[in-house]
Amino acid sequence: MLQQGDIILFQGNSITDSGRTRGNTAANQPAALGNGYPRIVTSRLLSDRPDSGLQCFNRGISGNKVPQLAARWQQDALDLKPSVISILIGVNDMWHGLNGNYKGTVDTYEQGFHDLLDRTRRALPSVRLVICEPFVLKVGAINASWFPAFDGYRAAACRQAGIFDAAFVPFQEVLTRALDDAPASYWLPDGVHPSMPGHQRMADAWLDAIA
């Protein structure tokens, strides 16, 4: 999927943000990429393909749901004219509803995500899309109240990947499978945000699906 000179943009919420320095907007810079899977992916790509001319950017922002992503999409996505856009969004779209701070539903999420992807295709017809599956594990903040509703968000992301001919990264499957190796708290200490090894498993899955 990746080509010479590609501009790769990682978008999403805190899981993608991962403590990046937002004032640093340069490509391929550790501080600008944060401490999570975007940085790990970039390091591997640049190491394996030193002559590829790849440029990787992270514009994830903690707390974002689909509406916040859409509100900043022109500046933080379309204006960069990326050739590859990777999007991980969805956990806050449900979480903020559970805590009473948001009235959106899974239908709100899917329609908003569809509109965002359609807007992207219209503006950048040749862009290659990567849709990452929202995920949680049953530990920390994640309890029975999340299910089965959260599975609907995962299914919605998968459907939109199919509609827009996007690559799909099955993060939930990968992290569920990781439970064979260590308990949930090892991978996602609060059930949502990955640890260092959790981000490594995510990066490996992203590369398996894309590179």
2 inside domain: no
Residues 36 and 113: beta-carbon distance below 8 Å: no
Full domain range(s) for residue 198? 7-210
pLDDT at 211: 65
120 inside domain: yes
105 inside domain: yes
pLDDT tens digits, one per residue of 140-170: 999 999 999 999 999 999 999 999 999 999 9
1 inside domain: no
Tokens of 50: 């030193």
How many domains, in total, are found in the chain?
A: 1
171 inside domain: yes
pLDDT tens digits, one per residue of 45-90: 999 999 999 999 999 999 999 999 999 999 999 999 999 999 999 9
Predicted TM-score of the model (pTM)? 0.97
169 inside domain: yes
pLDDT tens digits, one per residue of 163-182: 999 999 999 999 999 999 99
Nearest to 169 by CA among 27, 41, 14: 41
pLDDT tens digits, one per residue of 117-143: 999 999 999 999 999 999 999 999 999
Identify the DSSP state of 204.
H
19 inside domain: yes
Per the prediction, the chain carries an average pLDDT of 97
Q: How close are the terminal C-alpha atoms of the chain, in Å?
A: 6
Question: What share of the chain has pLDDT > 90, as a percent?
Answer: 97
Q: DSSP H helical segments within 24-148, as ranges?
A: 30-33, 37-48, 66-71, 73-76, 91-98, 106-123
80 inside domain: yes
Provide the pLDDT confidence category of residue 101 given band limits of 50, 70 and 90.
confident
Q: At residue 1, does pLDDT exceed 90?
A: no
Residues 14 and 193: beta-carbon distance below 8 Å: yes
User: Residue 98: which CATH number?
Assistant: 3.40.50.1110
